[in-house]
Amino acid sequence: MLKGEAATEQCVIIENVNFLNNADIDGRNLPPAGAPNVMMAAGGTQLDKILEADTIDVWQFHVDWKNPANTKVTGPEKIRVAPYHYLCDGQLTNCVPQPGTDRRLDAQGDKIMARLVYRRIGNRESIVAVHSVNTTAGGGGVRWYEFRIEKDRTVRLHQQGTYASDGLFRWMASPAIDRLGNIGIGYSFGGPSTFAGQRFAARLASDPPGQLTLGESVLVEGEDAQTVMRWEDYTQTAIDPTDDCTIWYVGDYIKKGAASYSSRIGAFRLPGCR
């Protein structure tokens, strides 16, 4: 396909899955030859009114392009994590408040968000996942996980955390892993007195587990309220291939008096990565 040659497609139907995400590679180091792709979904299911869980569900997808009969999906393996409740009970809900209006924004709280990030550093294989959860302070937080893949392809939880430094809303996040194993996460930010905008937090690979120690940086502040419920569909990070360190991030905000959203693109580089 990358060469412009004829391509084929294989399809596997998986029943009763809650928004499945395929792992996406950061960096140039590929997984071991023949390794299946890892796919993940949040536990629970909004359609069945199961709005909380204490697992992340994992599938492994092996594709055989020469012999499609050998293609298979295994799972789900349910990996125990800290209990969580979907932010505002899931998607298509009036969730995040805005100043000066009763219109609230959708938070897509029922799913693992883009991207589900894979990074191989030497023989270490990591996957970072994020989703949006209710917080005890009454706002929304970014729940994030780093998983490790063992030699037998078993996926295990390495660390986890919920970034919610106050009672405001942080949601619709997107993570990246630089070449040193540092983790950066961009996300939407807003609340009753703050128009929705975009922020970024991060951690170094050497930091204590479960913490985004590098605080919160502002990419763009919102200037006005959005008049419809649906906020974005997702935000997005990407690693710059020229240095394998710079993390690009894009998300939306509303300019003062604007009828529709604008997008802001920014770049971040974490300490020590050059």
Domain parsing of the chain, residue ranges: 84-268
Cα–Cα distance for residue pair 11/200, rounded to 1 Å: 36
**Euclidean distance between CA atoms 7 and 27, whole angstroms:** 24
Whole-number pLDDT of residue 15: 85
Reported as a single tens digit per residue, the pLDDT across 80-120 is: 999 999 999 999 899 999 999 999 999 999 999 999 999 99
Ramachandran quadrant class, 166 (left: phi over 0; alpha: psi -120 to 50; beta: rest):
beta
Model confidence band, residue 1 (pLDDT cutoffs 50, 70, 90): low
Whole-number average pLDDT of the chain = 95
pLDDT score, position 77: 96
Taking only the tens place, the pLDDT of each residue in 193-249 is 999 999 999 999 999 999 999 989 999 999 999 999 999 988 999 999 999 999 999
Measured CA to CA, the distance from residue 82 to residue 164 in angstroms comes to 15
Distance CA 138, CA 168 (A): 8
